[in-house]
């Protein structure tokens, strides 16, 4: 079972030769994107850059980021489908950069399940073992074991066109696992499924991970997928790692404003460019606070900070900073209380308790207390200080 290590990995997709108006527009877009990225010039689209990442044996790592962040590119580099432009891929300390995909003991599951339409679910799952000429009884044993784990026994004789989205994805998952690969790569596997099904499949995936002890690397743009599945979350944006830490730390101590915003359920409030005096004191949302000397140094003479606080760290109570309720909305089990505080908009989040959800009303005068330990501070570049 390997430890996977990416060392200073960069992938540049060369520009395609372009002509005509439409393509020129595309090319301008690409150039614009490229110019927004540091370090590199006019060779092509920089999908990921300077990636240092180690995935330990048996870990469940989630790579989280918006569309275009370079998530699929990273997975394809790990699987061997793509060669990095620069940098090294190590499996257990050995240089695997030029080892072909089929020699890596890695399986992959995609968002769009590519099942063989003329084969039953059983045959689809069994296929990787058939190719290896595994004895029939052994194949049967493995297929049934996976079918039981995924609750698929009743559908083994169906054809792909007779399956729901969830069943198709379970079939792909079983087919990827039957070879018992030492690494399973999952590229947004549940994105096409509805929310209830996603929740259920997440639970099953977690169970499979515990049963098989395989290394899982799971790519998604959903915060919830990442928080519920991951031992560790790697947040990616513009091909650069923004944060690499435990799920709890990514949620509670976001390393940058971008990460805070991306982990914004329940909602994050921000106050920008707050002036800080030379001794480090500043005031935000009616709270007088002070930077410690270390934080002050990190500002590098730029005497402003951005502040962020999650709505759940603001309590509406009988004392504190006065504010006015503008409106109230119910989101799942949470009550979002929209407020106006000295001209600034703010959202406090409370759990809904019994049926007194309507204790707040528009125009109501209330008082707020802030969990000041949970006011996150960022410098001008958006980095946590
Ligand atoms: P994600 O999976 O996070 O959405 P990708 O890894 O697919 O991101 O893409 C990262 C960037 O690389 C995007 O700007 C995308 O347009 C570009 N890209 C991806 N694949 C190719 C390719 N084969 N040729 C050119 N550009 C590509
Ligand atoms: Mg992708």
What tokens were used for 199?
């929740």
Same domain, 17 and 145: yes
With a 6 A CB cut-off, is 347 part of the ligand 1 pocket?
no
Whether 44 and 15 have beta carbons less than 8 Å apart is answered as yes
Cα dihedral value 275, 277, 278, 279, nearest 10: -130
In order, the DSSP letters of 248-279 are: HHHHHS-SBHHHHHHT-SSPEEEEEEEE--TT
pTM, 2 dp = 0.90
Whether 281 maps to a domain, the answer reads yes
Please state, in angstroms and rounded to a whole number, the distance separating the CA atoms of residues 12 and 51: 13
Structural domain boundaries enclosing 148 = 4-54+77-204
In order, the DSSP letters of 315-377 are: EEESSSEEEEEEEEEEETTEEEEEEEETTEEEEEEEE--TT-GGG--TT-EEEEEE-GGG-EE
Whether 33 maps to a domain, the answer reads yes
Same domain, 142 and 278: no
Same domain, 149 and 37: yes
Q: At 318, which CATH number?
A: 2.40.50.140
* Grouped pLDDT means (10 residues each) for the chain, 385 residues: 93 71 64 54 81 97 96 97 96 96 94 90 96 95 94 96 94 94 95 90 94 94 96 96 97 97 94 96 97 95 96 94 95 91 94 74 96 97 96
Q: Which atom of ligand 1 is nearest to the CA of 187?
A: 2
Same domain, 150 and 9: yes
Please state, in angstroms and rounded to a whole number, the distance separating the CA atoms of residues 184 and 209: 10
What tokens were used for 243?
């944060």
Q: At 161, which CATH number?
A: 3.40.50.300
Which residues on adjacent β-strands are paired with residue 288? 283
Whether 216 maps to a domain, the answer reads no
The pLDDT tens digits of the residues spanning 5-27 come to: 999 999 998 876 555 555 666 66
Range 31-60 burial, b when 16+ CB lie within 10 A, else e: eeebeeeeeeeeebbbbbbbbebebeebbb
Q: Which atom of ligand 1 is nearest to the CA of 188?
A: 2
The whole-number pLDDT of residue 39 equals: 47
Whether 164 maps to a domain, the answer reads yes
Same domain, 173 and 278: no
Whether 171 maps to a domain, the answer reads yes
Same domain, 297 and 179: no
Last residue of a domain, one of 164, 182, 204: 204
With a 6 A CB cut-off, is 10 part of the ligand 1 pocket?
no
Task: Quote the ligand 1 centre to 384 CA distance (angstroms).
Answer: 28
Whether 121 maps to a domain, the answer reads yes
Last residue of a domain, one of 169, 189, 204: 204
Last residue of a domain, one of 187, 204, 221: 204
Q: What is the SS3 assignment for 133?
A: coil
Q: Which atom of ligand 1 is nearest to the CA of 46?
A: 12
Whether 344 and 287 have beta carbons less than 8 Å apart is answered as no
Please state, in angstroms and rounded to a whole number, the distance separating the CA atoms of residues 101 and 99: 7
Same domain, 159 and 282: no
Whether 125 maps to a domain, the answer reads yes
Among protein residues, the one whose CA lies closest to atom 13 of ligand 1: 68
Which residues on adjacent β-strands are paired with residue 340? 324, 345
Same domain, 23 and 138: yes
The whole-number pLDDT of residue 61 equals: 98
The whole-number pLDDT of residue 114 equals: 84
Q: Domain count of the chain? A: 2
- In eight-state DSSP terms, residue 155 is G
């Amino acid at each position: 079972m390997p430890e996977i290590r990416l060392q200073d990995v960069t992938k540049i997709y060369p520009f395609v030769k372009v002509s005509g108006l439409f393509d020129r527009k595309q090319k301008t877009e690409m150039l614009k994107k490229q110019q927004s990225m540091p370090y590199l010039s006019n060779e092509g689209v920089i999908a990921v850059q300077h990636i240092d990442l180690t995935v330990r044996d048996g870990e469940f790592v989630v790579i989280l980021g918006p569309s275009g962040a370079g998530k699929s590119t990273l997975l394809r580099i790990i699987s061997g489908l793509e060669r990095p432009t620069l940098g090294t891929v190590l499996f257990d300390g050995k240089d695997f950069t030029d080892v072909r995909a089929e020699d890596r003991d890695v399986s992959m599951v995609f968002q769009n399940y590519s099942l063989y339409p003329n084969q039953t679910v059983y045959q689809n799952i069994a296929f990787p073992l058939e190719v290896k000429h595994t004895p029939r009884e052994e194949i049967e044993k493995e297929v049934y074991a996976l079918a039981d784990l995924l609750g698929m026994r009743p559908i083994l004789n169906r054809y792909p066109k007779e399956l729901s989205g969830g069943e198709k994805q379970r079939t792909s998952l079983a087919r990827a696992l039957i070879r018992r690969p030492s690494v399973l790569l999952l590229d947004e596997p549940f994105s096409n499924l509805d929310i209830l099904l996603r929740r259920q499949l997440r639970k099953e995936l977690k169970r499979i991970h515990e049963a098989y002890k395989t290394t899982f690397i799971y790519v998604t743009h959903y915060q919830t997928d990442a928080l519920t599945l991951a031992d560790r979350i790697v947040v990616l944006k513009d091909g650069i790692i923004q944060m690499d830490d435990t799920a709890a730390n990514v949620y509670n101590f976001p390393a940058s404003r971008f990460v805070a915003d991306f982990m914004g359920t329940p909602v994050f409030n921000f106050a920008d460019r707050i002036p800080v005096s030379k001794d480090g004191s500043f005031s935000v949302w009616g709270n007088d606070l002070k930077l410690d000397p270390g934080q002050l140094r990190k500002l590098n003479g730029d005497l402003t900070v951005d502040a962020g606080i999650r709505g759940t760290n603001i309590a509406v109570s009988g004392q504190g900073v006065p504010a006015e309720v503008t409106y109230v909305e119910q989101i799942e089990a949470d009550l979002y209380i929209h407020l106006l505080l000295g001209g600034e908009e703010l959202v406090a989040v409370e759990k809904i308790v019994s049926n007194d959800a309507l204790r707040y009303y528009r125009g109501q005068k209330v008082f707020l207390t802030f969990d000041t330990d949970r006011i996150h501070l960022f410098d001008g570049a958006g980095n946590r200080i």
